[in-house]
Amino acid sequence: MTDMSTGPAILVEGLTKSFGDVHALRGIDLSVPRGTVLGVLGPNGAGKTTAVRILTTLLQPDGGRALVEGRDVVRDAAAVRRSIGLSGQSAAIQEELTGRENLELIGRLYHLSWPQARSRAAELLDQFELTDAADRAAKTYSGGMQRRLDLAASLVGRPQVLFLDEPTTGLDPRARLGMWDIIRSLVADGTTLLLTTQYLDEADELADEIVVIDHGQVIAAGTSEDLKGRVGGDVLEFTVPDRARIADAVSAIAKIGEGEAHVDEETGVISIGVGGRGSEALIEVVRALDGAGVAIQGLSLRRPSLDDVFLALTGHAAEEEEQPAKGRRGRRRSAKKDTAGATS
Ligand SMILES: Nc1ncnc2c1ncn2[C@@H]1O[C@H](COP(=O)(O)OP(=O)(O)O)[C@@H](O)[C@H]1O
Ligand SMILES: [Mg+2]
């Protein structure tokens, strides 16, 4: 085998893909060092699954290139397929078969002998705590168990690089935490992982590096701390119960914050980055709102979350539900203000 141990496990340059006039990917760049976890964070429709499908050879890109373990996903697709595992958004398991049969079958597809396939299946069932349910049809499994089985299936071939497309979407909180534990143990074994998610806390929890994508473009990249740092210090948050006074509140505090205030029209929550001037800004905000005669509730100062990062970067929340055609994009709209000379 060629020695490809030096480059990144995944390298993506200028990747583009359109479906008709939908530009799903508009020139994505990624680099994932071996043995690390990249979190690809973005809302519904951002282009996450399209990127994963190209990287796993299921879809051809229009432009740019992508290498997995140094091999081109288009020209060397067969070799790429041998080194990867994919656990997708829609489970790839056969519902009529038992968990054990599913894994044994996949082992056979990987050209393991029957005894090898059997022992690999038993090992994975044990690792994923599915031994008790191993001989029941997969259709009787809970959502969390089906996800675990699907993930186990992607590991039968002992992939060097694993792609998980929204591994916890639709799972209840407990199953989600279970999945996080499993993902952490995989990473501890040295597997390189690319994980897509819509959940900021998931990226925060699991990823070494995070790439934020929106509308087919990378809009920010870095560690969770890097990204939080971009919000510029602490965040001040309060609620304006009288929705009619929101605009007054925003203009009253316009000169206090650093950057834009973000407004959630539905809940009346306004948040604003205040840099390192937390307590000072808190007092100024109280005075300014009092001066403007705007009543507020629940004024608090907190560390920025990845949600604030997403808002700061895009002007809309990451986890907002998909809106049909008429779309109220930007449930939380950003109130742009004149920021001339406002950088600290
Ligand atoms: N096969 C397809 N045909 C047409 N449009 C598609 C297809 N697959 C994805 N898209 C569109 O491309 C965009 C990105 O989709 P996708 O990669 O699935 O986003 P995500 O996984 O981040 O939710 C969306 O606008 C989606 O509707
Ligand atoms: Mg998707």
Q: Which residues of 61-99 are buried (b: 16+ CB within 10 A; e: fewer)?
A: beebebbbbbbebeeebebbbebbbbbbeebebeeeebb
Instruction: Note whether residue 1 is domain-resident.
Output: no
Question: Given this model, what pLDDT does residue 90 score?
Answer: 64
56 and 158 assigned to the same domain? yes
pLDDT tens-digit profile of 255-284?
A: 888 777 889 888 999 988 887 777 888 999
Is the C-beta atom of 47 inside 6 A of ligand 1?
A: yes
Question: Nearest-CA neighbor of 295 among 245, 247, 344, 335?
Answer: 245
Cα–ligand 1 centroid distance for 190 (angstroms) = 31
The one-letter amino acid at 168: T
pLDDT tens-digit profile of 182-236?
A: 899 888 888 999 999 988 889 989 999 999 999 999 999 999 888 877 766 788 9
Q: Which atom, in ligand 1's list, is nearest to the CA of 44?
A: 23
Is the C-beta atom of 24 inside 6 A of ligand 1?
A: yes
DSSP conformational letter for 22:
E
Domain assignment of residue 41, given as a range: 10-222
Cα–ligand 2 centroid distance for 231 (angstroms) = 27
243 and 308 assigned to the same domain? yes
The count of structural domains within the chain is 2
Is the C-beta atom of 22 inside 6 A of ligand 1?
A: yes
The one-letter amino acid at 317: A
What residues does 68 pair with on adjacent strands?
A: 10, 71
Q: How much is the average pLDDT of 159-172?
A: 92
pLDDT tens-digit profile of 206-217?
A: 999 999 999 999
264 and 215 assigned to the same domain? no
Q: Which atom, in ligand 1's list, is nearest to the CA of 25?
A: 14
Question: Nearest-CA neighbor of 182 among 209, 164, 160, 201?
Answer: 164
96 and 195 assigned to the same domain? yes
Question: Given this model, what pLDDT does residue 35 score?
Answer: 93
102 and 134 assigned to the same domain? yes
Instruction: Note whether residue 340 is domain-resident.
Output: no
237 and 273 assigned to the same domain? yes
Rounded to the nearest angstrom, the gap between the alpha carbon of residue 10 and the centroid of all alpha carbons in its chain is 17
Q: Which atom, in ligand 1's list, is nearest to the CA of 47?
A: 17
Beta strand extents in the chain (DSSP E only):
10-19, 22-32, 37-41, 63-68, 71-72, 84-87, 161-165, 192-197, 209-214, 217-222, 234-239, 261-264, 269-275, 297-302, 332-335
Cα–ligand 1 centroid distance for 24 (angstroms) = 6
55 and 85 assigned to the same domain? yes
Say if residue 334's pLDDT is above 60: no
Instruction: Note whether residue 118 is domain-resident.
Output: yes
Q: Which atom, in ligand 1's list, is nearest to the CA of 198?
A: 22
Question: Given this model, what pLDDT does residue 92 score?
Answer: 77
113 and 242 assigned to the same domain? no
Higher pLDDT, 155 or 339: 155
Question: Given this model, what pLDDT does residue 232 score?
Answer: 66
Higher pLDDT, 276 or 295: 295
Of the residues 203, 222, 241, the one at which a domain ends: 222
Could you give the 3-state DSSP secondary structure of residue 10?
Answer: strand
Of the residues 178, 195, 222, the one at which a domain ends: 222
Only one residue has tokens 């995989």, namely 186
195 and 314 assigned to the same domain? no
Minimum mean pLDDT range among 59-63, 82-86, 197-201, 336-340: 336-340
Instruction: Note whether residue 343 is domain-resident.
Output: no
Is the C-beta atom of 292 inside 6 A of ligand 1?
A: no
> What are 180-188's contacts with CB under 8 Å, separation 24+?
180/205, 180/206, 182/128, 182/148, 182/151, 183/37, 185/127, 186/155, 186/162, 187/35, 187/37
**Bridge-based pairing state of the strands 161-165 and 192-197:** parallel
Model confidence band, residue 328 (pLDDT cutoffs 50, 70, 90)? very low
Cα–ligand 1 centroid distance for 60 (angstroms) = 14
Whether pTM > 0.85 for this model: the answer is no
In a mutational test of the pocket of ligand 1, which residue from 26, 28, 50, 320 has the highest number of ligand atoms less than 8 Å from its CB? 50
Only one residue has tokens 């929340």, namely 317
Is the C-beta atom of 53 inside 6 A of ligand 1?
A: no
Model confidence band, residue 1 (pLDDT cutoffs 50, 70, 90)? very low
Question: Given this model, what pLDDT does residue 319 score?
Answer: 57
Ligand having the closest approach to the CA of 42:
1
Question: Given this model, what pLDDT does residue 80 score?
Answer: 96
DSSP for 256-291 reads TSSS-EEEETTTTEEEEEEET-HHHHHHHHHHHHHH
178 and 262 assigned to the same domain? no
Say if residue 3's pLDDT is above 90: no
128 and 244 assigned to the same domain? no
Question: Given this model, what pLDDT does residue 123 score?
Answer: 95
Instruction: Note whether residue 280 is domain-resident.
Output: yes
Q: What is the CATH number of the domain that holds 126?
A: 3.40.50.300
Q: How much is the average pLDDT of 271-298?
A: 89
Q: Are 18 and 8 in contact (CB under 8 A)?
A: no
pLDDT tens-digit profile of 105-163?
A: 999 988 999 999 999 999 999 998 999 999 999 999 998 899 999 999 999 989 999 99
Give whichever of 54-63, 83-92, 139-148 has the largest mean pLDDT.
Answer: 54-63
Of the residues 202, 222, 242, the one at which a domain ends: 222
Q: What is the CATH number of the domain that holds 235?
A: 3.30.70.980
Question: Given this model, what pLDDT does residue 5 score?
Answer: 59
Per the prediction, the chain carries an average pLDDT of 86
Q: How much is the average pLDDT of 37-43?
A: 93
pLDDT tens-digit profile of 311-322?
A: 777 776 665 544
183 and 308 assigned to the same domain? no
